[in-house]
Amino acid sequence: MITYDEEISGLFHDLMSLNCGLVSGLNLLRNKIINKEDYQEIVPLIDKRFTKIRETYKVLEQKIMEK
């Protein structure tokens, strides 16, 4: 059975958490419940979030491959 150490478990947690924020932001966009100024704030945040998720996943992938 595969077991993960604290570092890998922590990375999973980070990814889940980042993902919740991403979905939350996308929901705001989809449901059009923010005004125009907020769009200018939220769109780059979502873009950054995609990058952050990708980066974190690459670290996780590397840690898993090293095991």
Footprint (CB under 8 A) of another protein, residues 7-66: 13-14, 16-18, 20-25, 27-28, 33-34, 38, 42, 45-46, 49
What radius of gyration, in Å, describes the C-alpha atoms of the chain? Answer: 15
Of 33 and 65, which has the nearer Cβ to another protein? 33
How many residues belong to the site for another protein (CB under 8 A)? 20
Q: Is 6 left (phi over 0), alpha (psi -120 to 50) or beta?
A: alpha
Tell me the C-alpha to C-alpha distance, in Å, between residue 20 and each of 3, 13, 31, 64: 24, 11, 16, 22
Residues that bind another protein (CB under 8 A): 13-14, 16-18, 20-25, 27-28, 33-34, 38, 42, 45-46, 49
